[in-house]
Structure 1
Amino acid sequence: MNETLRTNFSNRLQTAADAKKALLEKFKPKPAVVDPNFESREVAKAAELKQVRADRADERAAARQLAADKIQAAEQAIADSAAAVLSLKRGATKERKALSAAEAKAKRDSKYAARKARN
């Protein structure tokens, strides 16, 4: 122990407490200086946020419109396909009826010819 400083136990305890207090003072929050541009920065930040939200809303609307257009195109293709199939079926039915009518006419004509040949 250094006797030239004339430190006793209570002085050493006080010095240790002061050192501990100084160490704890480093961790305390210090008073902040208010930025003079704080309000203008907040306004700019709010405007930027509003712009970002508007851009995102536009992107979502465009994506919805694109999806709706794709769905409409698919429905139109299905409808066109169904119309084509229906048209083909109707054409086949008309052709079948025409053939049946022609066969019936040919059968009638042959009966008429046979009857004429007998008389």
Structure 2
Amino acid sequence: MSAYKAPDFQERQALSKQAKEKALEKLRAKPPMDPAVVAERLAAAERREAAAAERQREKIAAKEAAEADKIAKAAEAEAAIEQAAKDAEQAEIDKKAARDARYAARKQRK
């Protein structure tokens, strides 16, 4: 039994060239793709891209609608706070008017 002999540069180069030639021959032996199959694959890819774009548009629209709803709710809450402040102010005015009326009535009786 002989000892292992490491291949030298020329042997490695020859093996590499043979491997490349074998791969090229294998590639050349492969039958060409049917144009109908290629067209179908392209159409399927376009449909997937269109569906993805539509989902993205729907997602953006939903996000914008949620943001608009949030803004509307904030405006509603702000309006409610303003109305509550106005109501409280009007209640104070009414209480003062009633107190003044009682005072005036008391002065009239004396």
TM-score, normalised relative to structure 2: 0.73
| Aligned residue among 48, 51, 65 for 1:52 | 48
Which residue identity is paired with 1:62? E
Task: Using the TM superposition, give the Cα deviation of residue 53 of structure 1 relative to its aligned residue in structure 2, in angstroms.
Answer: 0.7
Task: Using the TM superposition, give the Cα deviation of residue 20 of structure 1 relative to its aligned residue in structure 2, in angstroms.
Answer: 8.4
CA distance in 2, matches of 1:89, 1:20: 91
| Structure of greater Rg | 1
Does residue 63 (structure 1) correspond to residue 59 (structure 2)? The answer is yes
1:99 aligns to what?
Answer: 95
1:2-41 correspondence to structure 2 within 5 Å:
23=15, 24-28=17-21, 29-30=24-25, 32-33=28-29, 35-41=31-37
TM-score, normalised relative to structure 1: 0.68
SS in 2 for 1:44: helix
Aligned pair in 2 of structure 1 residues 27, 96: CA closer, same or farther (>3 Å)? Answer: same
Aligned pair in 2 of structure 1 residues 22, 90: CA closer, same or farther (>3 Å)? Answer: closer
What 5-or-longer segments of structure 1 have no aligned partner? 1-16, 115-119
What 5-or-longer segments of structure 2 have no aligned partner? 1-9
Does residue 76 (structure 1) correspond to residue 89 (structure 2)? The answer is no
| Aligned residue among 86, 108, 112 for 2:108 | 112
Provide Cα deviations, 1:45-91, integer angstroms capped at 9, x if missing partner.
21011011101111101111110121122112112211211121111
Which residue identity is paired with 1:112? Q
CA RMSD of aligned residues (A): 2.5
* Total equivalences in the alignment: 97
Aligned pair in 2 of structure 1 residues 112, 41: CA closer, same or farther (>3 Å)? Answer: same
